Structure 1
Amino acid sequence: MVNYKATVHTADLDNAGTSNAVFIKLVGTDGESKSRILRTFSGASSFKRGAVSSFTVSCPASIGKLVLIELEKKHSLFSPKKSWFPAKVEVKSPEGETYNFPIYHWISDSEVHRFREGTALRVFEDSHHHGLYSREQELCQRKRDYHWHVYAEGIPQCLKALDIWHLPSEVKFSLRKDLEVVYTLQSGLLQLKLEGLANSKENWSDIDDINKVFCSRKTEIYDYVRRHWKEDSFFGYQYLNGINPILIRRCSALPDNFPVTDNMVFLGGQFSLADEMKKGNMFLCDYKRLDGLEVNNIDGKRQYLMAPLVLLHKTPDDKLMPIAIQLKQTPADDNPIFFPTDSEYDWLLAKIFVRSADFNEHELNVHLLRTHLLAEVFAVSLLRNLPMVHPLYKLLIPHTSGTLVINNLARALLISENGFFKKYTATGGEGVTTLLQRSLSSMTYSSLCIPEDIAERGLEDVPNFYYRDDGLKLWDIIHRFVQGVLSFYYKSDVEVQKDSELQKWIAEIFEHGFLSQNSTGIPQSFTTVAEMVKFVTMVIFTSSAQHSAVNTGQYDYSGWMPNSPVSLQHPPPTTKGTTSKATMLQTLPNKGATANGMAVLWLLSQQYSDFVPLGHYTQDHFCEKVPCKLIKAFQTELEVISAVIEARNKSLEIPYTYLDPADVDNSVAI
C-alpha cells in the first residue's frame, strides 16, 4: 500500500466554498486510484472559502507519473447543493514528486470533472490515452458552452448568450464586481435625478453650469480640461495624449478635398505649406469614416455629426496647433474652411464639431471595436480551441478575465436599441453599425501593432508624445516576455506548424473576428515562431495596454462635455460671421444628454476591486521553472518602467498615466 498526499486549495473568492462531499481519483501512467471521498477532522470547513486542506489517498501500488485527477462533488440532505471553486490541487507521490493541477473552475453539478497535471503540453506531444481523452472531452464541452454569434453583419462576431446570467460560470464577474458596477451606475443616475437632469430636455444657458453636474465626481485632469478646452494648444495636445491617440498622422501632401493654401494659414509669410511638410511639421486628422452616417434623433430633434478634416502645425516651440478645419469632406461654398483668425465663436464652434466627431470615432472604433470586440474574439477562440494544458491557454487566459461579461453588458446597455448610444449620441442606431462596419473593413494588422502603427503614421520623432513613448516600451517588454515563454515550448517553426489547436485558434480569429478579410493582413495560420510571438504580443497589448490608453481617461477628457459633445443639435454654419455664444449653447447637447453621458463615462473610467495590474496573475497556471522565472522578470521590468513614468509625470503639467503598468488592467474588464 502506498500513500499520496493531496492538498486542495479552495479559492479565496465570494461563494467559492462548499460543504458538499468531494471525491478525488488519481490517474497515472501505470494505473489509477479508486474514487475516494476527501475527509478530515475539519469536516465541512475543509472546503470553505480560502481553505487549504490535505488528505491521504491510498493505492495498492504506485500508479506512476500522474496524468490527471478527477474531482466530483456530491450533495446530500444535510449539505444542500452548493457550487465550489477549487483553485488548485497539489499531489505528493510516494516517490517524493510533487504534481500541480490548476483548476480555477466552478464545479456546480455532481458530474466527474477531469483536470490535467500542470506541465504544459501541445496536442502532438500529449501521448497518454487518458490525457488525450480528457483533452478531447474538455474541448467538446467548451464548444458546447461557447458559440459564435452574429450580432450584426460586417462586425466581429461575439459569444452567443442571452444575457450575463446565461454566460458560463467561469467567465462571470464576481458578485462583488456585479454590485460595484450596479452601485456606480445607479448612484450616478440617482444623483442626476436628484439634480433634475436625467430626463431634462432643456438647453444650457450658461456653460459654467455644466460644472455643477456630478460636482462631487471630478478629477484633476477633468478640471484642467474645463479650464483649457478652448485653447488651440490643448486641442492639438489631445491628438497625442488624449483618449484617441491613433488618428493623427504626418502630412506630406494635402488631400485633394482639403484645398488649403499658404495665404490661408500663414498670413505673415513666415512659413509655407510645402516647406513645413518637407520638414515634417504638418499633421492631418481625417474623420472620413463618419461621412454620410445615418444621424440620430434625440428627444424628437435631428442631431448633427460632421466628418471633418483638421490640419495641424508643429510650431518651433513644439506645440501642435490647429490651423485649418473643414467640417465636411466635400469642398463647397457652404462648407467654409475655418481658421484661428476667424471670429472667436466661428473658430470655437468648428473645434466643437471636431471634438464631437472625435467622441463618436473614439467610442465606437478606437474603444469599442479595436479593444473590446477584438478582445472578445481572442477570448472566445481561446476558450473554444485551446485546452487548459496548452501553453498558450496558460499565457493568455489572465488577459480574458471579465471581457465576455463587460461586452455582453455593452451590447445590452450601450449599443442596443434602447441603449445609451441610441438615446443620447449622434451616431444613434444605424450609425453605430455602419461606423463599426467601416472601421473593421479599413482595419489593418499593422495598425494594431504599435511599432508599425507609429512608423506608418510618421510619428516616430514627434515631441511630447507620451502614448507613443510608453506604448513602445510596453510593447517591447510584452514581446520579450511572450518570446521567452513561447520559445521555451516551441523550439522550431515545424512545431508551430503541426500544433493543430494553435492553428484552429488563429483560424477562428481570422474567420469570426476579421470576417476572412485578407485586406486586414491578419494571419490565417502560423508558419513560424516569430509570427506567433508577434500576434500573441498584439493580443496581450490590445487587451491590456491599448484598452487602458483609450478607456481610463474617458471621464478625464470627455467628462467636461464641451470638450467632447456626445451629439450636436444644430448644423454647422454655412457662412462665417454668423456664430455667437448663444449659437454655441443652442448647438451643444441638452442637459439630459450631457448628464447621462457624464454618468456613463464615469462608470467606464472607474477602477474596480477586481483590478489586476498588467503582469500580475491571481491564478498559477504555469508550474515549470522557466516560465515562472520569466513571469518574475516581466514583473520586474514593468515595475521599472512604472517608476520611470511616475518620475517623468512629476514634471508634466498634464501627467500621462494611462500606460503606467501599475494602472493598466491585465484584461478588458470594464
Structure 2
Amino acid sequence: MFSGVTGLINRGQKIKGTVVLMRKNVLDINSLTSVGGILGTGINIIGSAVDGLTSFLGRNIAFKLISSTKTDGTGKGKVGKETFLEGIITSLPTLGAQESAFSIHFEWDDEFGIPGAFFIKNFLQVEFYLKSLTLEDVPNIGTIHFIANSWVYNSKSYKQDRIFFANHTYLPSATPAPLVKYREEELKVLRGDGTGERKEYDRIYDYDVYNDLGKPDSGAPRPILGGSTLPYPRRGRTGRKATKKDPKSEVPGDFVYIPRDEAFGHVKSSDFLASGLKSVASDVVPVLTDAFDGNILSLEFDNFQEVNKLYEGGITLPTNFLKKFAPPIPVLQEILRTDGEQFLKFPVPNVIQVDKSAWKSDEEFGRETIAGLNPNEFPITSKLDTQAYGDNNSKITKEHLEPNLGGLTVEQAIQNKKLFILNHHDYLIPYLRRINATTTKAYATRTIFLLKDDGTLTPLAIELSKPHPQGDEHGPVTDVYVPAHEGPEAYIWLLAKAYVVVNDSCYHQLVSHWLNTHAVVEPFILATNRHLSVVHPIYKLLFPHYRDTMNINSLARKALVNADGIIESTFLWGQYSLELSAVIYKDWVFPDQALPADLLKRGVAVKDESAPHGLRLVIEDYPYASDGLEIWAAIKTWVQEYVSFYYKSDDKLKQDPELQAWWKELVEVGHGDLKDKPWWPKLQTREELVEISTTLIWTASALHAAVNFGQYPYGGYILNRPTLTRKFIPEKGSPEYDQLSKNPEKVFLSTITGKKETLIDLTVIEILSKHASDELYLGQRDGGDKFTSDVEAVQAFNRFGKKLAEIEKKLVLKNADENLKNRTGPAKLPYTLLYPSSEEGLTFRGIPNSISI
C-alpha cells in the first residue's frame, strides 16, 4: 500500500517533500514567462533565474499538513505548522514539460500522526498549477503521494483554504475519522449556494439550462433548451446577467465560466485547438466573408477538379488582400497557412488519398454507413401525427426493391435480415418547411440497403420527401429513386445520395456527436464533482473521462452551436440545429447508450450466448460494432474488477451516501427533464454500478472517438460529406434537368455546400479531428499508477492497459484481412478509428479518455 518503511519515530524531526508545480506562463502568455516576466510584475529579483524563481515563489506559497490519525479536539484532523517552498530541484527525472520541482520540509512529531491531507495558500497575485506533493520517509509509513492537478489562486479568492488529500481511496464509511469533516466541507464548497455570477477563480459546479445560445438583444433569439417544452441535459451554471429583451436568457460574452480546474490545465496542443476554434469564428469567417462579398473569390466551385485543388495548391488570393488581413497571431497564421499567394491549403482527406472517385460508388456509400463518420445510426422509425402531417408512410414498394434482390422477395429478404433502413424522415418532417424557407432546400430521406452475400451493403432505393405546397396536413410530396449509372440519371442518383448524406451529416454532428457525447456527459461531470469526494473510488474511476469536456462544451456554445455560429452557418438545419437535437433528446434512453443494447435496439445484432460478448452481429463485417464490442468488453472487465474491490456487497453500495446522492441528482437534476422515465437504473446493485460506469466511460472515450476523429478523413472532402443542399433535385423536362445533362458537375456543386461554407467547414473539422500533443488515451492516466495507493486497483488498471494493446494488434490484423471488405472498401481506407493508441495530430485513430475536443 505504501512504499518504504523508516526506523524509529523521533520527536521534532522533519519530513522531506517535493512539490511540483507549473507557473501560469506555460499556458498564458505574458505572465511569469521568465524572470524578466516576473520583473514585469514590479518585483525585483537579484541573482540567477533559478535562484530568483525560488526566492520569488518560496515565501509566497505556504503549506500545512493535516493529520489523518490525530484530531485537534474538535474531531478534525490536527493541522501542522506552516512551511514554505525551498530550493528548486533541477534533476527530477519525472518532471514534465514546463514543470518545476521544489524541495520542502515539514516539522513533525509522533503527536501529529500520519499526514492525510494538506492546506495550501498562495500569496502571489497570479495563479499557478499545482501538480503534486510527495512526502518521503514519513515515519512508519514511507512515501505518501498527493496528486493535485489544480489551479491555485491568491488565498483571498477563497472563503476556505484550499485542501488536497493523499492518494488513498476511501468509501465514505471507511474515511479516517479526522478527515471526515474535511471531506464533507470540500464537497460543500464545490456545490456552492446556487447564487451569484461565477468568477474565473471559482471552483463551483452547478446546473443551468441552455439559455446562452441566442442573441435576443441582437435580433437572433433561440429557444431555451432544458425544461418541459424542449427537454435537454443541463450545462454548467455561469450566473451571467440576463439579456434586455429576454430575462430568461443570459448575455453571451467572451468569458464563459467553467470551474477553473475544468479549463485546459496542461501543456497541450488543445490550447492551439481552442485558440484555433476561436480564431475561426472571430477571424477566419470575417476574412472569408469579406473575400466572397467583395467577389474576390467566386461563390461556387466550377467542377470537381477545383475542389481537388484545395488539397493540391490552396486558393489563390491577391497579395494585397492577404496583407490586409494578415493575422497577427501565430495560431491564425497556422490555420490560414498563408504562403505567398496561397490561402487555406488543406491536407488530403484519407477518403481520397488512394482513389479520388471512389466516393461516388454505391459500394463506398454503403460502406460508410457502417464504417464511416456516422457508423452507429440506423434510427428506429416512428409514426407522425396524421392529422398534423398527413400520410407519411413510405412510398418505397416491392417493385423498387425486388429487381435488385438477387431473386429474393422482400419478405424473404426481411426474414433473412438482408434489408436495412437509414431513416432521416420522421424527426425532420415537422421542421422541413421552416428549413426550406431559408436559402437551403432539403428533403426528409429514407434509404433501403441490401446486405449482400459478401457482407457489404448496397443501396436499393432512396425516398426523398418535401413539404406539400398546400400544407403539412396533406402529407409530403415524395419521390423514390433507384440506382442508375449512365447519363443524367446517374447524376440524379448521385444527387439523391447527396441529400441522404447531408441529413446524415447533420444528424451526425448535432445528435451522434454533440448530443450523444458532449451534451449528455456534462451533467455527469457536474454531479460527480458535487457529490463524490476526490478520495471516493468511483470519482477516481470516472474522473479521467471528464478531462477538458466542460471547456470544449463552453467553447462550442460560444462559437460552434450558438446563434449564427459555425454550425448554424454551414449545416442544413441552420437556426434549428440545437432545437432539433432537443427534439431527438426526448427519446434518449441512458441504458441504450451501452453498445450491446444499442446494437440490439437497432436490429444489427441478436442475442447469442455462444457468440463473443453474447451477441451475434447480423452484419458480421460491421467495423464499428465488431471493434467496439472488443473495447466495450475490456472497459467492462476493468470496471467490474475495480467496483468489486471497493464494494464487497450490494449493501455497501446502497449505504454509500455520496454515491446515492450522486445518482439521485444526476437523474433528477442533470437529466431532470427525463427523470420520470422508467428505464433509469436504480443503482441498488454492483451490477448496475458496473453497467452505468461502463456506459459512461464508453460514451466519453470510444463512442466520441468513433464519431469525432473521422470528421476530416471523411468529411474533409466536401463531395463525400456535404453539409447542406441549396436546390431541389431537377425534374425531368425542366431547364435544370437540361443543364444537368450538359454540365452535371456544375449542377451537383451548385446544389451542395457552397465554397465559403466548405472552407469554413474544412477549417473547423481539421482542428476538431486532431489529437493533442499530451492527450491521454484509454488505458492511461495523468500521474500513472499514483491515482490510488491500493495495489489491487492499480494492478487491475494495468491489466486493462495490456488488454487494449492486445486488441489493437487484433484490429490491425482484421484490417489486413481481404475477406473483410467493409474494413477498407473502394476508397481503400482502413477502419482505424477504434485503435486505442495514437500519435499527435490528424491520425484517424486513437481513443482519448475523454471528450477533450
TM-score higher than 0.5: yes
Instruction: Give the superposition deviation at 1:193.
Output: 5.1
Instruction: Give the superposition deviation at 1:81.
Output: 4.7
Q: 1:60 to 1:195 in 2, by over 3 A?
A: closer
- Deviation larger for 382-391 or 503-512: 503-512
Preserved CA contact (<8 Å) 2:653 2:684: yes
Query: Is the aligned partner of 1:600 residue 2:764?
Result: yes
**Which SS does the other structure have where 1:442 is aligned?**
coil
**Which SS does the other structure have where 1:561 is aligned?**
coil
Instruction: Give the superposition deviation at 1:256.
Output: 7.7
- Structure with greater contact order relative to length (CA < 8 Å, sep ≥ 6): 1
Structure 1 residues 457-482: Cα deviation after superposition (integer angstroms, max 9, x where no partner):
22213132110111001110000101
1:79-158 matches, cutoff 5 A: 81-110=126-155, 112-126=161-175, 128=177, 130-144=178-192, 145-151=204-210, 152-153=225-226, 154-158=231-235
Aligned residue in 2 for 1:569:
726
Instruction: Give the superposition deviation at 1:197.
Output: 6.3
The match for 1:170 among 261, 281, 291 is 261
Preserved CA contact (<8 Å) 1:29 1:65: yes
Query: Is the aligned partner of 1:265 residue 2:401?
Result: yes
The match for 2:303 among 206, 222, 225 is 206
The match for 1:480 among 629, 637, 655 is 637
The match for 1:432 among 573, 577, 581 is 577
Q: 1:235 to 1:504 in 2, by over 3 A?
A: same
- Deviation larger for 653-662 or 29-38: 29-38
Aligned residue in 2 for 1:644:
810
Preserved CA contact (<8 Å) 1:88 1:104: no
**AA paired with 1:36?**
E
Query: Is the aligned partner of 1:412 residue 2:558?
Result: yes
CA distance in 2, matches of 1:519, 1:305: 36
CA distance in 2, matches of 1:464, 1:186: 41
Structure 1 residues 519-542: Cα deviation after superposition (integer angstroms, max 9, x where no partner):
765536410000011000011110
The match for 1:71 among 120, 123, 129 is 120
The match for 1:351 among 497, 520, 528 is 497
The match for 1:379 among 525, 534, 538 is 525
CA distance in 2, matches of 1:333, 1:617: 52
Q: 1:379 to 1:542 in 2, by over 3 A?
A: same
Q: 1:224 to 1:156 in 2, by over 3 A?
A: farther
Instruction: Give the superposition deviation at 1:74.
Output: 3.1
Query: Is the aligned partner of 1:159 residue 2:227?
Result: no
Preserved CA contact (<8 Å) 2:392 2:476: no
Aligned residue in 2 for 1:465:
622
1:38-49 matches, cutoff 5 A: 38-42=84-88
- Deviation larger for 330-339 or 207-216: 330-339
Structure 1 residues 92-150: Cα deviation after superposition (integer angstroms, max 9, x where no partner):
3222443332222222122632222322112233351x412211221121112112110
CA distance in 2, matches of 1:41, 1:601: 46
Instruction: Give the superposition deviation at 1:405.
Output: 0.7
Query: Is the aligned partner of 1:21 residue 2:75?
Result: no
Instruction: Give the superposition deviation at 1:241.
Output: 0.6
**AA paired with 1:290?**
L
The match for 1:283 among 420, 431, 452 is 420
**AA paired with 1:591?**
K
1:543-622 matches, cutoff 5 A: 543-573=700-730, 579=737, 580=740, 581=744, 582-619=746-783, 620-622=786-788
CA distance in 2, matches of 1:546, 1:356: 21
**AA paired with 2:275?**
V
CA distance in 1, matches of 2:660, 2:358: 51
**Which SS does the other structure have where 2:65 is aligned?**
strand
**Which SS does the other structure have where 1:238 is aligned?**
helix
**AA paired with 1:336?**
D
Aligned residue in 2 for 1:442:
587
TM-score (norm 2): 0.72
**AA paired with 1:232?**
D
**Which SS does the other structure have where 1:383 is aligned?**
helix
Structure 1 residues 642-664: Cα deviation after superposition (integer angstroms, max 9, x where no partner):
11112322444321111111011
Preserved CA contact (<8 Å) 2:19 2:104: no
Query: Is the aligned partner of 1:394 residue 2:531?
Result: no
Preserved CA contact (<8 Å) 1:296 1:428: no
**Which SS does the other structure have where 1:166 is aligned?**
coil
Instruction: Give the superposition deviation at 1:67.
Output: 3.2
Instruction: Give the superposition deviation at 1:518.
Output: 5.3
CA distance in 2, matches of 1:368, 1:457: 20
**Which SS does the other structure have where 2:360 is aligned?**
coil
TM-score (norm 1): 0.90
Structure 1 residues 70-104: Cα deviation after superposition (integer angstroms, max 9, x where no partner):
223334xxxx6552413233353222443332222
Instruction: Give the superposition deviation at 1:52.
Output: 4.1
Structure 1 residues 205-246: Cα deviation after superposition (integer angstroms, max 9, x where no partner):
213211222544123334357421211111111111111112
Preserved CA contact (<8 Å) 1:399 1:544: yes
Q: 1:308 to 1:135 in 2, by over 3 A?
A: same
Preserved CA contact (<8 Å) 2:375 2:624: yes
**AA paired with 1:655?**
P
Preserved CA contact (<8 Å) 1:243 1:553: yes
CA distance in 2, matches of 1:464, 1:326: 26
Instruction: Give the superposition deviation at 1:569.
Output: 0.8
Query: Is the aligned partner of 1:632 residue 2:798?
Result: yes
Q: 1:4 to 1:478 in 2, by over 3 A?
A: farther
- Deviation larger for 270-279 or 207-216: 207-216
Aligned residue in 1 for 2:357:
227
**Which SS does the other structure have where 1:292 is aligned?**
helix
Structure 1 residues 282-317: Cα deviation after superposition (integer angstroms, max 9, x where no partner):
11111122222267789x952123221110011223
CA distance in 2, matches of 1:183, 1:256: 44
- Deviation larger for 493-502 or 362-371: 493-502
Q: 1:280 to 1:249 in 2, by over 3 A?
A: farther
- Deviation larger for 470-479 or 586-595: 586-595
Give the paired residue count.
661
Preserved CA contact (<8 Å) 1:295 1:426: no
**AA paired with 2:656?**
D
**AA paired with 2:552?**
I
**AA paired with 2:167?**
G
Instruction: Give the superposition deviation at 1:9.
Output: 3.3
**AA paired with 2:428?**
L
Q: 1:172 to 1:4 in 2, by over 3 A?
A: same
- Deviation larger for 394-403 or 202-211: 202-211
CA distance in 2, matches of 1:258, 1:575: 22
**Which SS does the other structure have where 2:478 is aligned?**
coil
Preserved CA contact (<8 Å) 1:203 1:591: yes
CA distance in 1, matches of 2:699, 2:417: 29
Aligned residue in 1 for 2:431:
293
